[in-house]
Amino acid sequence: MNIFVFETSLEASQYAYDLVAKALESGANTFGLATGSTPEELYSIIRDSDLDFTDAKAVNLDEYYGLPADNDQSYAYFMKKHLFDAKPFAQTHIPNGTATDVEKEIEDYNTILSENPVDLQILGIGSNGHIGFNEPGSPFDSKTRLVDLTDETIQANKRNFESEADVPKKAFSMGIGSILESKQIVLMAFGENKAKAVKETVHGKVTPDVPASVLKNHSNTVILLDKAAASQLDPSDYEVIS
């Protein structure tokens, strides 16, 4: 893993933008996208850029189970607001949070991923080390599936809902096995609350207990951190970009 540390999350996001732009210029066709607060600055930079994704495809990591696409807390809504309305793609794929046939939705999404190999995958990381909604204990060979969210994840996400009772308890998630098939992975982590998970990812053993630790087995992973998220690493672990 190549680890780069920046003074601010905005500087890290600009570096991520440069990687996206380089991939697009080099012919990347399919981009794996994440949601949540971590990629918001990246998407803002992309929105204000002249990058053209009209010939590219997007596949998203996950979606809350039970939320329709027009719910303002759904990840479909998030992506339209933060990226797709301003930067249309030839195709966009996000699991259907209200699918009545769960097994068919899973099968269909796995087919989409197999037919559209991801050239560059954007990832965040949960405070418990999850990537996508692959919570601790997720098999490293897992594909898209419906997962139960841990209490830690529910607590972290409740800030976006009126009450904890409104937070979905399940989600569709691209599996770790699918994530590892991406040609390039860019993981971003910002803030002190991510520092422990980053340390366990970098220094801990590769274990399903820390899902992100498997990225050490990937041949082309870049980790972009602000100073707070890197605070528990040794300076020899990373390169400072200024």
Q: What is the mean pLDDT of residues 73-96?
A: 97
- Evaluate if residue 146 carries a pLDDT over 90: yes
> What is Dmax (Cα atoms) for the chain?
50
**Rounded Cα–Cα distance for residues 205 and 7 (Å):** 28
Region of residue 100 (left: phi > 0; alpha: psi -120 to 50; beta: else): alpha
**Rounded Cα–Cα distance for residues 139 and 142 (Å):** 5
**Rounded Cα–Cα distance for residues 214 and 176 (Å):** 8
Domain membership of residue 140 as a residue range:
2-240
Domain count, the chain: 1
Q: What is the mean pLDDT of residues 170-186?
A: 97
Catalytic residue among 41, 62, 63, 105: 62
pLDDT band at 228 (very low <50, low <70, confident <90, very high): very high
Q: What is the CATH number of the domain that holds 86?
A: 3.40.50.1360
**Rounded Cα–Cα distance for residues 195 and 104 (Å):** 38
pLDDT band at 152 (very low <50, low <70, confident <90, very high): confident
Residue 96 annotated as catalytic:
no
- Evaluate if residue 81 carries a pLDDT over 90: yes
Catalytic residue among 63, 105, 119, 135: 135
Residue 130 annotated as catalytic:
yes
Check residues 166 and 109 and name the one with the higher pLDDT. 109
Instruction: Flag the least confident range among 134-148, 161-175, 186-200.
Output: 161-175
pLDDT given for residue 164 in this prediction: 83
Q: What tens digit of pLDDT does each residue of 158-173 get?
A: 888 888 888 899 999 9
Query: Which ranges in 64-194 belong to alpha helices (H)?
Result: 75-79, 102-115, 151-157, 176-180
pLDDT given for residue 226 in this prediction: 98
Check residues 89 and 156 and name the one with the higher pLDDT. 89
Catalytic residue among 60, 128, 134, 157: 128
What is the DSSP track for 9-67?
HHHHHHHHHHHHHHHHHTT--EEEE--SSTTHHHHHHHHTS----TT-EEEESEEETT-
As a dihedral over the C-alpha atoms of residue 97, residue 126, residue 175, residue 166, rounded to 10 degrees, the angle is: -20
Q: What tens digit of pLDDT does each residue of 11-26 get?
A: 999 999 999 999 999 9
Give percent above pLDDT 70 in the chain. Answer: 100
Residue 105 annotated as catalytic:
no
Catalytic residue among 96, 105, 130, 134: 130
Residue 101 annotated as catalytic:
no
Q: What is the mean pLDDT of residues 47-66?
A: 97
